[in-house]
Structure 1
């Protein structure tokens, strides 16, 4: 591959959206190093030109007044002073080494890393944990999805097994706790919903306490009470078992533990539990019968059941719904998928080698720890407490539960370093701020390649010349490792071999030499990303050094899924197929199809040796039996249930800092039922106080007939202090508590926050 220069002239180009997990392809016009026009990319192999209104506003991410342009160091008076990269890297490295050598690995934690769409840098940041001899990785996945990952580990044999759904091909779809019209999460969401709605042979059922945009298109909307998902789904499973609606042939061929499941669920009081959800008993019976009998049925869920009461149990129940019905491993059903970027690992708490946190004794799930516990691990763990934190491309003071607790905890740290593109609320608490390139100023990708049977990947090329004195995360973390003397600054032999080796020889000489280096010094293995970056990376075209770590991943993926990669159209043999895949990824600006599987291949993705699913999870049977004792009646002090974090047309993942990006809902209004509003004598546009057991904020009211009585909602993505000003919109996590969470996964109950409302003149 020959060296080339990146052109930043005015031009048309392609990239991808970074605002949700779909990462739709974008076709862009660039003028004066900025976005001029953004539309969908017709050449993208998956989104095929689809785009929503949020992506069209990405110029508000690329250019705004909070962009960081130089390293900053906090001064004694609390102000920040610009310093050189050399000073910042060396001072931070010295302090990290001192903290590690004095207090040990439990003194350090990484927070974030790989923020939405910003996943390439995470591979480099993860190395800092190894350098600090730490295992504390806290991130947003562990705030949202680890209960689901834990269940997957029990069912399929590994927490790295992850499910997807063929909504676009299903005859009967259950949307439970999700609003894909706004949240997306399925291919080309709004078009897909429209196709299902128009087809008389297909059925869409939505379970949601609010009449959402998706619910308005559904054939059936089940408007259940908040927090009752576990009751309703367990009743549905019990109906399936009592009426023999389960797929006996599927269960016998592909699963273990059915008898234990049957025994546990036949004890469910079906009608009592459906009545707890306050929905029609007859309607639920009919839904179960039709879903079970459907030729191609699937279930799509999201944070609506993952951020509410019984988080982990909910994940178990929704999977039992489609597994017992046999809606798995076929087109139009739920499936597993390949994972090109190894975001998830398997960390089973039953394995004694996986250490727990000091204060909460919490275990990692998929290698991650839940943000709910971090303030306590900083403030309450004694001599073994967390003393230094690296925050990378995330904003815990706004996005993690209990802002006040995080403020107190971060103020008490010996060292807080923030790596980001913007002066966030968290960055203002930092000792050092290291400015990163924006996602469109560097090579970048998103690891959410979660499709089956066809899977894809999009490596985004740099679009713009980097602003100010910023660096990529690959360079920032590699310099830190060098300054900490964890890796040498030069690898002369590897670099020399890399210059002479090429794709024609499948890089055999280079990887052979790398293997010899690791054999001689095993301590270097955890830092392979930076070593490959410094050596092989320099030989890649267009300053693509940071992408060099994709080459061994391509080799691994092609070896593991050889036939599927060949079926996707790649020519090569077992020696060089991974290299061919890597070359295609580098060259195809609109993304590539990685692999093309057959549906029967899903069984090979199960981690158990016999390739069978373990239906019985004893811990979940215990939680199931405890449902009867769970109180669901709001108290007099807090009579409303708040959905904290509703997705709307103009809220995103907090990388939009300038509020001018919003065309509507500038205040992030509190939606409430008109009858509830009449009791307070308030109308749309008026202000109330929203008070939880933990805190209070001011909210602007908007009447919404689609809300259940006694239920209110607020959007996420607000509360930012743009240009250091007052918070704009609701600071949701002033209301939430770190203690209000799932007992197993510690996932917060953001969709079930008891609150009361008060007039300002009360």
Structure 2
């Protein structure tokens, strides 16, 4: 008998509402939920194919142990947990807690269970070597928010549905459907912007899918975002276009910023970023003159050489024009499930400790992933000898992937919680496979907090959990208990949970979620007569609840005692000074070639290429090259060419396109699968190459140590010419020696 289950998609930040048709515990059809308050029936190709992941024959169903030969064999859950706990305890006992490192991948953002047990796992491991995908894409936003708003999770979003001028820099929301910006069906939202007389301007080195729909596309040199934003803000100051009332009302420290802006005149900045001074000034004037406007920056900016500064500069421009916290501007969601208070309890901050080898700072309790390989390879007290990965593939997602793979192969012990054997988990001694998320409740803790409307929902399971399966949080909970900890990271409370466990009482993440909801802005405060929410009430709204558009002001997210944005944090001002010094140098050479990444609508980072429907058709892992650059390199369309950087020399398939800025090439991230591997057969048939083979783990930005995945210096050559030069490669400064 067929039944329909309504549930939010868990594949990306858009969190689109889906309607699942289920027969005999199998998903037979997926369509968009027309009654979802955010997505209104929209669904992307990934959402339609979500059932294929559950049915994938390559997905692991039982724990696996790697044998001496390198092959994997199934073992029982009890044996897997016992081996894991024993080996991790032994490493900690002999070498100290920091000898174990934890890496968590992007999918944890879509698992409320992992998010709510994460602090418990960190405390149970006892290590400061915590890492995640955030240091590849979001740490600059976290750090800027921590300093400016007092809260790393105060994440402003563009009020896209009410703005009249949308300035989009280093982002491609038509493909991403928003990043740190939950806005399903962005293309329709941008179309409505233009229909109401608004204007869309995209600034990007590539004429992206979003740029094709824009009123204007402006090409910029990769890495020029921070200088551009500061030059626009300087123009507002110089031409007396800033909103001083808003600045004085909402912030402190503006004087220290303004005293530095003189170093960023459009005329000084223009030669360094490839955008003419008159265009910079015009953009600033348009931004200030529009009835409402917002500047949104994202992935391209967050992986650039000045990512934290550029993120801070985004806030500055929006503030200077009076758009921070204003309708149609740079606004804050009011999350129904607000995890920021819990974050404060467990510690929110930046640079409270540093990595052992290179001294890179932590952000939000995590050190950059770019240090993991060196922490494994470098002897001494605190050398990493054991690694725990959760839903991550850092061999493909972190810089200098080949070095990462070699380092993982040197560990004393590694355990991975993952659905698949992949380029990272192949090095694990134990793999603990979680049940696919369709078998449990889902709560949008993160997506709901950056949505373009104030919404809330809890989604029911779509499928029944099979006997012997454990969910991701159940696996982590068992690890916490076996390591002497518990789900909260609070010793007394965890001791109580361990005692309750012995009499059959279980901790569940929904208990914590209910607490967050009931004490949140829409909660019932545990008052029986209250009309506020609890989980039981929220479950009755099968399509979710809409509390209305974003509300103006900062008070609901800023946690500084004075309720204002603080612009005078020393690390951010130092970053301004550093960029000013760089601008004193000569502009970059016209002969340079820089590598940037790109997104694809049918891909989700590194882990959806084993779904046949999503990899069918033309080859997508190709290097986009402008015809002028191709002519200089003597390569043609569809040629197999050689791309070189400091860390790697490898072959790429060339695709000529005038959508690229001359001097810039683009390769999508997330590919580079093992072509002959049995563990993911479809992905192996569409292996591609990993863009992060060419990125450099030694090249990080100055504030948070964020990986620089854009503006990577490279050289492109025809394969035949590269082969003839092979004998000179040892002396080539672009070729890595480590």
Do these two structures clear the TM 0.5 threshold for a shared fold by scoring above it?
yes
2:479 corresponds to: 480
Matched, 1:525 2:493: yes
2:454 corresponds to: 455
Shift of 1:290: 1.8
SS at match of 2:698: coil
> Structure 1: how far apart are the matches of 2:67 and 2:610?
27
> Structure 2: how far apart are the matches of 1:443 and 1:465?
11
**Structure 2: tracts of 5 or more residues without a match:** 722-738
Matches for 1:325-724 after TM superposition, within 5 Å: 325-339=321-335, 340-342=337-339, 347-349=348-350, 354-380=352-378, 382-447=380-445, 448-451=447-450, 454-466=453-465, 469-486=468-485, 523-525=491-493, 545-557=508-520, 561=521, 565=522, 574=527, 580-593=533-546, 599-600=551-552, 602-630=554-582, 639-644=592-597, 646-658=598-610, 660=612, 661-721=614-674, 723-724=678-679
Give yes or no for contact 2:176–2:601 (8 Å, CA) kept in 1.
no
Distance 1:296 1:452, change over 3 A: farther
Q: Which moved more, 1:385-394 or 1:157-166?
A: 157-166
Distance 1:534 1:585, change over 3 A: farther
> Structure 1: how far apart are the matches of 2:94 and 2:144?
38
Shift of 1:579: 8.2
Report the TM-score, using the length of structure 1 for normalisation: 0.86
> Structure 2: how far apart are the matches of 1:635 and 1:410?
38
SS at match of 2:237: helix
SS at match of 1:30: strand
> Structure 2: how far apart are the matches of 1:546 and 1:256?
39
Alpha-carbon RMSD across the aligned residues, in angstroms, is 2.9
> Structure 2: how far apart are the matches of 1:421 and 1:466?
15
Shift of 1:711: 0.9
Shift of 1:615: 2.2
Give yes or no for contact 1:172–1:298 (8 Å, CA) kept in 2.
yes
Listed one character per residue, the Cα deviations across residues 51-88 of structure 1 (whole Å, up to 9, x for unaligned) are 22332222332222420011111222222221111111
SS at match of 2:226: helix
SS at match of 1:90: helix
Listed one character per residue, the Cα deviations across residues 586-624 of structure 1 (whole Å, up to 9, x for unaligned) are 34333334x568734532421111112222333333322
> Structure 1: how far apart are the matches of 2:504 and 2:702?
46
Listed one character per residue, the Cα deviations across residues 705-742 of structure 1 (whole Å, up to 9, x for unaligned) are 11111111011221123634657111112111211211
Matched, 1:746 2:738: no
1:17 corresponds to: 9
Give yes or no for contact 1:236–1:284 (8 Å, CA) kept in 2.
yes
Give yes or no for contact 1:347–1:364 (8 Å, CA) kept in 2.
no
> Structure 2: how far apart are the matches of 1:216 and 1:522?
51
Listed one character per residue, the Cα deviations across residues 537-561 of structure 1 (whole Å, up to 9, x for unaligned) are 769xxxxx5523312222332xxx2
Shift of 1:466: 4.1
Shift of 1:576: 6.9
SS at match of 1:316: helix
Report the TM-score, using the length of structure 2 for normalisation: 0.88
Give yes or no for contact 1:159–1:365 (8 Å, CA) kept in 2.
no
1:136 corresponds to: 129
Give yes or no for contact 1:19–1:116 (8 Å, CA) kept in 2.
no
Give yes or no for contact 1:533–1:546 (8 Å, CA) kept in 2.
no
> Structure 1: how far apart are the matches of 2:495 and 2:553?
33
1:755 corresponds to: 714
Distance 1:66 1:222, change over 3 A: same
Shift of 1:223: 1.0
> Structure 2: how far apart are the matches of 1:648 and 1:487?
39
Shift of 1:694: 0.6
> Structure 2: how far apart are the matches of 1:716 and 1:598?
33
> Structure 2: how far apart are the matches of 1:536 and 1:226?
57
Matches for 1:27-426 after TM superposition, within 5 Å: 27-112=19-104, 114-185=107-178, 186=181, 187=183, 188-200=185-197, 202-339=198-335, 340-342=337-339, 347-349=348-350, 354-380=352-378, 382-426=380-424
> Structure 2: how far apart are the matches of 1:641 and 1:609?
44
Distance 1:747 1:598, change over 3 A: closer
**Structure 1: tracts of 5 or more residues without a match:** 1-8, 489-517, 540-544
> Structure 2: how far apart are the matches of 1:158 and 1:222?
33
> Structure 2: how far apart are the matches of 1:534 and 1:51?
44
> Structure 1: how far apart are the matches of 2:153 and 2:57?
40
Distance 1:485 1:116, change over 3 A: closer
1:497 corresponds to: none
Q: Which moved more, 1:336-345 or 1:182-191?
A: 336-345
2:731 corresponds to: none
Give yes or no for contact 1:155–1:613 (8 Å, CA) kept in 2.
yes
Shift of 1:341: 4.9
